[in-house]
Copies of this chain bind each other. A is one copy, B any other.
Amino acid sequence: MDIPKTMKAAVLFDLGDLRITEVPVPVLAPGEALIKVNSVAICGSDPAIIAKGWKGYPKLGEFIPGQAFSGVVAAIAPDVFEFSVGDRVAVEPHKGCGRCDNCLRGFYTTCLNYGNYELGHRHYGFSTNGAYADFAACHVNTLHKLPDSISFEEGALLTGVGTVMYGYERIGWVGAGETVVVTGPGAIGLISAHVAKILGAGRVILTGTREERLAVGRELGVDITINVREENLVDAIMDLTNGVGADMVVECTGQSAPAAEVLDFIRKNGRISYNGIYHDPVTLQLDKIVQWNLLITGPKAEGRLNLARAIPLMADGRMNLKPLITHTFSLDEINTAFDTFTGRVGGAIKVIVQP
């Protein structure tokens, strides 16, 4: 592949000021491949980073956001043997330092040297440059081959899927046949519900307030939807479970009141994965954790190679996230893309930017 010297990129010049400009194509460090970016999925944290920055983000005027993406290998560093030019790949945004305790034990999304570029840590689109550009330099640790049966657009959603799956891994996987309640039909909630079913949940119940989103859930295999504007959530779950409560709850609203309410419909010995972004503190009846003997976790991103786990499931069609992809924009239209995403214009769920 012929690599140009410069490329088009969306650069953050100031907080809130993201502009398309021409920048040098990144130079590869050892272990890296140059990815010709095809599709970038806008994630919930992207607008926040653009508006407010992120601890240790690259210099304004140079910072290229974009974390969840797919593309094609355009070049490889001399020591790279795992990938070849032309390979279709999905990219995960986290690379650990590889030398702290957490990385050495496999927990690279909670690397203790977060943001330390010299020691080898990378977080594309957060602490290092990301993917809203023609090209991105990515370490092999973050690359996963995409079979032809997965489109680039769906491949860009795999980071989200990996995060959801990591939550399930961390809480002991989905138990076969269990009743899983997913609260909040945002993109992560919809993926959580879809994945629960694929991993062997018995019944998946999705809750929310927007009927059209609940309908997407049903399209993705959800068994039962509950509109919490119309039904009492706790009563409904208790009715559906003979008064026992849900075996597992995956909280995806990111809101404080629903996050607390989970304790009212989880079963004794149940498990909770908090998958939202909780901007505000949450007031819990903590005693319930003890008395009900609960297990609780929250997944920090697509840890322990869970992005890779998702690929065969998507490749053979069991996982189908096409209903989530509502809009596609070119890189030049990136600000429109963000407006569409944040304003949920036209029922936007996942918005793809294609450089």
A residues whose Cβ falls under 8 Å from a Cβ of B: 31, 79, 81-82, 98-99, 101-102, 104-110, 112, 118-119, 140-141, 165, 168-170, 172-178, 195, 198-200, 202-203, 223, 244, 256, 259, 268-269, 274-279, 281-287, 289-300, 303-306, 308-313, 316
Nearest B-chain residue to A106, judged by Cβ: B106
Decide: B305 and A104 in contact? CB cutoff 8 A: yes
Among B175, B281, B293, point to the contact of A110 (Cβ < 8 A).
B293
Contact B177 A313 (CB under 8 A): yes
Distance to closest chain B CB from A201 (angstroms): 8
For A118, give the chain B residue with the smallest CB separation.
B79
Q: Which of B31, B109, B173, B282 contacts A99 (CB 8 A)?
A: B31
Residues of chain B within 8 A of A177, CB atoms compared: 308-313
Q: Closest approach, in angstroms, between the C-beta of A248 and any C-beta of chain B? A: 13
**A289-B296 in contact given A106-B104, A173-B176 (Cβ < 8 Å):** yes
- Asked if A290 and B277 sit within 8 Å, CB to CB, the answer is yes
18 A-B pairs within 8 Å (CB atoms) are namely A81-B119, A102-B269, A104-B305, A110-B293, A169-B175, A169-B176, A170-B293, A176-B309, A268-B300, A275-B290, A281-B285, A284-B284, A284-B286, A286-B298, A290-B299, A291-B298, A293-B299, A294-B298
